[in-house]
Every structure is written in C-alpha cells, then in structure tokens.
Amino acid sequence: MRSLLSRPPRSLDQWIETGIQVGILGLLSGIFLVEHIRVWPNIALAALLISALAHALRTRPPFWQSLREPPFWAYMAIYVLLAFSMVFTAQTNVGYATGQLEMKVLFVVLPLAFALLPALTARTYQRYLLAFVAMTLLTSFFSLRDYFLHREEVLQAYGRAGIMFTVTHHVRYSVLVCYALFCSGYLAQQASSLFKRIIFLAVTCFFVLFLHILAVRTGLICFYALAAWLALRQLGRQKRWVGALLLLVILGTAVVAFTRLETLQKRVEYTLYDLEQYQNDPASANNYSMARRLLAYQVAWDTFRANPLFGVGEGNVQAALQERYRQEHTYITPDNYLMPHNEFLRFMAAEGLVGLGGFLFLFYYPWLSGRRYRFLPLSAFYLVITLSMLFEDALNTQLGLYIGLLFPMLHLTYLRGEAAHT
C-alpha cells in the first residue's frame, strides 16, 4: 500500500503513450470483434485519434512535418476521389451514397491518426505484430472447436457451400489467417533466441494446417501466391536452395491437403459442381454461390462497357447494377442481386477507367514510392490484399476497410522511424 501511495503520478506523455497502445490494440482486436460489437473498432479509433492529436500538440514541429508525408495523404485522397464521383448521384440514390461516404471516411480518419503518431520502434512494431498473431491463433481455436464438436454437420455444410464457425466473415477471416501466417514467419526470422524462433515456426505451421482445414478459396489462393512469391524471391538470391526447398514444401503441402483434408475436398467438389450448374443453366445463380458471383461479374462488366470513362458514379452504382439485373437477367430474383466480388471491377462500373486509374495510383503509391516495396511485411500485405480484392469487394465493408488500412498504417509508421535513421 505504501509503495502504491509513493509511486509518482503518470506524466501526460505516459498517458498519451498508453492511449496510443490501447487504440492500436483495440483496432487489432476490433477486426475480429466488429461483427459482434460493431462500435468496438470505432471506439478504439477514437481513442487513437485523441491520443495522436494530444501527441501532435505536445510536439508541434514534428506534427506539421508528419502532415506533409505523401503516403498518408494518398489514402486520404482516395476519399476525395470517391466523394467527387458522387457529385452526380441521382436523388433516389442519395441514401446509398450517404452511407458509402460515412463508412469510407475511414480513408481519412485512420491515415490521419497514424500520420500524427510518433514513429514505431522495432520492438513496439514487432509487439503489435505479435498481438495480431496471438489474436488470430486464439480465434482459430473457436473454429476448430466447432469443427471437432460438430464434424459431421460441418462436413455436410461444406458440401452445400457452408462453412465452419468463424469469429468474423469467413472470407476476410481467411485473409487474416493467411497474413498472420506470414507475420508469424517474419517474427521467427526476427527472433532473438532459438526457442522463440521454434515457437513462431510452430505457429506458422499450425496456421498452414488451419487454413487448409478452413478451406476458404480466397485464403488458400492468397497463401499459395504468397508462398510462391517468397520462394521465387529466394531463387533470385544467393540461397537458391532455400527457394527450391520452399517450392517443394508448397507442392507437398498442396498434395497432402487436397488428398487428406475432408473439408477441402468437399469445397473443391462443390465448387466444380457449382460451376457446372452455371454452365448448364445461368438461372442456377438463384441457388448457387459461385454462379451468383460469375453473373455479378458479367453484370458489372456490362455496366462498365456502357460507361467506360467515368462510370455510373459511386452513388449510383448499386441502383445501376440492379436495373441491369431487372432488364437483362429477369430470371434472377431480387434477393439474389449481388454486387461484384471484385474491387477493381466495382470501381470500373462505378467510376470508369478514370476513377480506376486514380484509385490504383493512390492505393499503391505508399507501397511503390520511396522503395518501400523492399520492406517484406508491407509487400506481403499488398500481395494478399490485392488478391483478396480480385475475389471480394474488400473495401466496401467496415471490416474490409479496417483490414485494408490498418496494416499498411502500422508498416508505414514503423518505416518512418527507419527512414529517419538512414
């Protein structure tokens, strides 16, 4: 008791540092909890922004310098691009446009908060990656528990396009698992002791197994593309045997997984059946998920072709797609109308080639400028998020936005400190 009373009070800087840590950890946990507690990541973001502003006011010269950093402004400019595309929104679509603007204000708020933060030290940066890996590992146990307790029911569900329990949207969760797998491997490489390295490598192997048991197509595509990229990267260096060995491990993993894991076998069988149904009868899109997706791609592509330069406008895109369904695909019921599960195709329909070009430049500029593509965690994330955007409209949900923005913000804030020491 005496020691507690004699302990000196926390300084304002210590409170600010605690607020920053709580905010970032809250955001990391929020991507897993958002579907259960929707305000959780927003509360964490508010705490982070307040702490960042307090830090900025305490260090005014660096504050103004941080606001001049182009990588953070590039993300904010995406919001300006989206807002400009909504200028000609039809009166009947104002509600949808307003909802999009409110949700995508994260393009401004999240980069602004991180732009105001002090640079992350290597130790702090790795602790945040460790927290993300630990959260992913913990949540995976809930999925495996559901699988082993209800194995027969889960396998039947996989035969009907179902999925085992996941704490958040299964496609985006599979992407998180894939990136956690990489982060665990990266932490193993950075580990200061053999024991830590073995632990991280064991966690990495576990994630590989879990990802195949989960058997979500997007996550598996991201994993094999990421693994192949890392292998080819090693082949281009002096230790070519490492790349060759990794390629053999990838091939062996695929063979074992596709011949031994029942959930993955069920997923492959259903996907092939789904595609066959769509080839035989386009109206099967009313009943099969892959057929629905393929038809949504066609509808979005036809919408783009009708408005190739500037699109139909971000605020009008949903109504335009629905109208094309009604006119050209009358056999599809309204509850099966689907936005295209492809971020780039959606941009083409909404904002045309001009808007897509602007988005591509702004989104990839933070990675390509300043040779940041040399930083492995940032490049790995861009590979994973790019692949996920090919199969999901990844930046059109609250969860997708937090995933797509939070991790590059962490990497860029760390790299800012590294640049200051070079």
Residue-wise pLDDT for 382-405, tens only, equals 999 999 999 998 899 999 999 999
pLDDT for the residue numbered 282: 75
Q: Work out the pLDDT band at 5, boundaries 50, 70, 90.
A: very low
Predicted confidence (pLDDT) at residue 238 exceeds the cutoff of 80? no
Q: pLDDT of 408-417, one tens digit each?
A: 999 999 998 7
Res. 379: pLDDT tops 80? yes
Q: What is the mean pLDDT of residues 12-24?
A: 91
Least Cα distance to 152 among 169, 164, 135 occurs for 164
Residue 286 pLDDT greater than 90, yes or no = no
| Mean per-residue pLDDT over the chain, rounded | 90
pLDDT at position 418 over 80: no
Q: Residue ranges of the domains in the chain? A: 1-64, 69-116+281-421
Q: Which of 75-84, 106-115, 134-143, 330-339 has the lowest mean pLDDT?
A: 330-339
Helix (H), strand (E) counts: the chain: 19, 0
Max Cα–Cα distance, the chain, nearest Å: 80
* For residue 377, pLDDT beyond 90: yes
Q: Read off the pLDDT band of 8 (50, 70, 90).
A: low
Contact 393, 340 (CB under 8 A): yes
Q: Are 152 and 146 in contact (CB under 8 A)?
A: no
pLDDT at position 4 = 42
| pLDDT at residue 67 greater than cutoff 70 | no
- State the DSSP code for 311: -
CA pair distance 141, 132, nearest whole angstrom: 15
Given a cut of 60, whether residue 30 has pLDDT beyond it is yes
Q: What percent of the chain is predicted at pLDDT more than 90?
A: 69
Q: What percent of the chain has pLDDT over 70?
A: 94
Q: What is the pLDDT of residues 187-223, one digit of tens each?
A: 999 998 999 999 999 999 999 999 999 999 999 999 9
Count other Cβ atoms within 10 Å, centred on residue 213: 17
Buried b (16+ CB within 10 A) or exposed e, 25-44: bbbbbbbbbbbeeeebbbeb
Instruction: Say whether pLDDT at 304 is over 50.
Output: yes
